[in-house]
Amino acid sequence: MNKAVKEEKESKVKKSQEESEAKPTKKIKATIYLTEEAEQAFAELYADRYVKDRKTDRSMIACEAILDLYKKDNPSIIEESAQS
């Protein structure tokens, strides 16, 4: 029993470390101007995510949206990095 609990804890720690290594540490401050429609969507998205996971913040949502849009607009770059 103790061995299974220990392995589960080690697995969680390892997963946590992998997630923290994947996140870039350098951040910049930027000002963006949103339409009312975009602001409403952003607020609803933030509220939904906040209820599910209190660790979320607006910056994470913005970064995720920007990276998704970049991947959508530049599929050839994503394919090249996947092949490397």
Question: What confidence tens digit (pLDDT) does each residue in 21-68 have?
Answer: 556 678 899 999 999 999 999 999 999 999 998 888 899 999 999 999
**36-52 helix and 58-73 helix, angle to the nearest 10 degrees:** 120
Q: Per the structure block, which two tokens stand in for 33?
A: 């101007």
- Classify residue 12: in a domain, yes or no: no
- Classify residue 45: in a domain, yes or no: yes
- Classify residue 63: in a domain, yes or no: yes
- Classify residue 19: in a domain, yes or no: no
Residue 71: what residue type?
K
Answer with the residue of higher pLDDT: 16 or 45. Answer: 45
Structurally, how many domains does the chain consist of? Answer: 1
**Predicted pLDDT of residue 36:** 98
DSSP 55: T
**Predicted pLDDT of residue 35:** 97
Q: Per the structure block, which two tokens stand in for 31?
A: 């000002």
Q: Does residue 72 carry a pLDDT above 90?
A: yes
78 Cβ contact list (under 8 Å, min separation 6): 71
Separation between Cα atoms, residue 73 and residue 82, nearest integer Å: 16
- Classify residue 57: in a domain, yes or no: yes
